[in-house]
Amino acid sequence: MLHSLISKLISSTRSLLAPNADSCLVCYGPRASSSGELSLCRVCFEHIPWIRPDDIRCDVCGRFESCPDCRRRKDTWFELNLSVVKYNDTMKDWLGRFKYRGDERLQLLFAGMFESLFHRFLAHQAWRAKDITVVTYVPLSKQRLEERGFNQAELFARALGSSFRIPVAPLLDRARHTGKQSYKTREERISDLRGVFAPNEEGISWLSTTVHNKPSQLVVVVDDVYTTGSTMNECARIIRECAPNSRVFSLTWAR
Ligand SMILES: [Zn+2]
Ligand SMILES: [Zn+2]
């Protein structure tokens, strides 16, 4: 009697401290069966503004509205960007909870969403996971990495690498951090990026010596948010200049 009471108490305390696996990753409510692998309740799941293939208006950056950025860009070094969701206020809140407030549970959610995007990417290119040479990520500056303790893009890349058994390697370093990009004009963003990224010597030399079953090395660069594409384009430019035999694709969580 006492024993069962105690074990009941322990289990209810435990569920208060660590919500069970069936609770929604965002609001801790009961999980819906329809949310698939994502561990969300029905309300949170329905809040996700997915970008569906039919929404896409720009074949380069996957934008869901007419796209001046890709048309104006002189050289585009990546072949394609695909994103999971539209970056609305709810998605800003989810990402902020993870990036700035350290809500680690959400990492599972982002990993699951990236996984579904990767399946879509492979289907779109008619490739299998083993065709991809490497998954890499947009780096943070040392200072930013020390402040935050982790690079969200790297975590997403590593999750993809382990679910699809693809090597993950840093191909880029970031010399300094740029201020908040969203407040800047297009020209400011582009000139701001000069000299920000540099090749990661070790990663690049590994890539250059990797022999793969495709005529070119297929490189997937992961980031959290795609805005105008200037950051991704700069990253892709460096990779392609260092490894001219590579083809670069961008996968981002939101845009
Ligand atoms: Zn929920
Ligand atoms: Zn575009």
What pLDDT score was predicted for residue 15? 46
- Residue 10: pLDDT above 60? no
* Residue written as token pair 């579904």: 116
CA 94 to centroid of ligand 2, rounded, Å: 25
pLDDT digits (tens, 9 = 90+) for 104-141: 899 999 999 999 999 999 999 999 999 999 999 999 99
CA 63 to centroid of ligand 2, rounded, Å: 6
- Residue 161: pLDDT above 90? yes
The ligand with the least distance to the CA atom of 250 is: 2
- Cα 250 vs. chain centroid, distance in angstroms? 9
Worst-scoring range by mean pLDDT, 69-78, 155-164, 170-179, 224-233? 170-179
**Helix, strand or coil for residue 109?**
helix
For residues 168-180, average pLDDT: 87
CA 42 to centroid of ligand 1, rounded, Å: 7
Measured at the CA of 235, the angle between CA 110 and CA 91, to 5 degrees, comes to 25
- Residue 230: pLDDT above 80? yes
The ligand with the least distance to the CA atom of 71 is: 2
For 52, phi then psi, to 5°, come to -95, 150
What pLDDT score was predicted for residue 201? 95
CATH 3.40.50 intervals, the chain: 49-254
- Residue 182: pLDDT above 90? no
**Residues by chain with Cβ below 5 Å of ion ligand 1:** 24, 26-27, 29, 41, 44
Sequence-distant (≥ 6) Cβ neighbours of residue 196 within 8 angstroms: 174, 175, 176, 178, 234
pTM: 0.88
For residues 50-57, average pLDDT: 94
Region 49-254: CATH code: 3.40.50
For residues 188-203, average pLDDT: 87
**Residues by chain with Cβ below 5 Å of ion ligand 2:** 58, 60-61, 63, 67, 70
pLDDT band at 181 (very low <50, low <70, confident <90, very high): low
Answer with the residue of higher pLDDT: 20 or 217: 217
Maximum CA pair distance of the chain? 76
For residues 79-107, average pLDDT: 95
